[in-house]
Amino acid sequence: MADTSELSSSEPRGGYRPERAIQFAPLFQWPPQPLALFKWFFGFPGYLWPWTIFFIGVALGEWLYWTPDLDKMKNFSADWIAPLFIQNLALLVVFNSLWHVRLYVQKAQGTDYKYNSRWLSVDNPTFLFRHQLWDNVFWSCCSAVPIWTAYQAVTFWLQANGFAPTVDWQAHPIYCVLLILLTPLWLEVHFYFTHRMIHWPLLYRYVHSLHHKNINVGPWSGLAMHPIEHLIYFSAVMLYWIIPSHPFHSLFLLIQLGFGPALQHHGFDRLVLGRKTTFNTDNYMHYLHHKYVTVNFGVEMVPLDKWLGTFHDGSDEAMEAFKKRVREHRLRSRKGQ
């Protein structure tokens, strides 16, 4: 995002540090900036391009060619649930592997623009199999995908039986399009508050700490979560158990939840596409969360972190403020003992 605060180009312990501080999307700026908002909405990268359009395309392909008719989903059956699981697993493996192979196997750009100059951990007892990648793949495939599929199956079953309100695209096209456009905003709000919830000490210790073993993150780290966290994370789709929607909306939302974490965890600020061309991936904010844990519970679209006092923009000033809060917290903790 465009901004004004300059930073140094490297982390103190090695690795890339963006040249500019993190800024939120112009959606909630006051006074409004119509031109900036227009550029952000239609620009590249922006709200629609490339990822929202990509997710819509994936969901549309899955809906048209792989999703059974609702009538078939009135009863739970492996005949239609098993193919959903296989589709979700295949899509996740392909998407995450494309990022991982290019950045971590081929090492196509080396450590250029990599936040942490080290590669993923091996022979480390912190992780299952003593291997960070295989740990991350295990939790993503053996916990995330089954729970993702379970939410998808229950949502389709509810809609097929009329237990969840549905809406027809032809009868309400404007409403359906608006619901698509608002889905990413809902996901950010849901993610922020559920994310803060699982940082409550008890939940953090027994649930969320599994995800935070990944300080130096990679594409497969995004969905490397405890099953309880997967239940909380994918629960965003329950919105469509309450408000009128088309089954395509829940499919689109779950595709974003499944694919989005790789975009926030691949560990590089930019992708090098040519000698002079780079593509900004805007995931520094969440990298700082993995580094400092108690900041940046959301991402860059809705400024909840800024509004609720948990924002770290990556600047030296923010770092000093963070250190001050840590010192004050430790002092209060000692006084309370």
The whole-number pLDDT of residue 4 equals 27
The whole-number pLDDT of residue 8 equals 37
What residues does each domain of the chain span? 59-298
Q: Is 211 in contact with 225 (CB distance < 8 Å)?
A: yes
The whole-number pLDDT of residue 13 equals 52
The whole-number pLDDT of residue 1 equals 33
Which residues on adjacent β-strands are paired with residue 6? 20
Spatial separation of the C-alpha atoms in residues 254 and 145, rounded to whole Å: 11
The whole-number pLDDT of residue 23 equals 85
Name 151's Cβ contacts closer than 8 Å, sequence gap at least 6.
Answer: 234, 235, 237, 238, 254
Return left, alpha or beta for 14; rule: phi > 0 is left, psi -120 to 50 is alpha, else beta: left
Spatial separation of the C-alpha atoms in residues 127 and 182, rounded to whole Å: 37
List the one residue out of 158, 335, 131, 161 whose CA is nearest residue 249: 158
Q: Is 313 in contact with 4 (CB distance < 8 Å)?
A: no
- pTM of the full predicted structure? 0.93
Compute mean pLDDT per 10 residues along the chain, 337 residues long, and list them: 34 73 89 93 92 96 94 96 97 98 96 95 96 98 98 98 96 97 97 98 97 97 98 98 97 98 95 80 91 93 94 87 80 71
Name 10's Cβ contacts closer than 8 Å, sequence gap at least 6.
Answer: 16, 17
Query: Measuring CA to CA, how many Å separate 73 from each of 56, 79, 242?
Result: 22, 9, 19
Q: In the structure encoding, which two tokens stand for residue 119, read together?
A: 């590669």
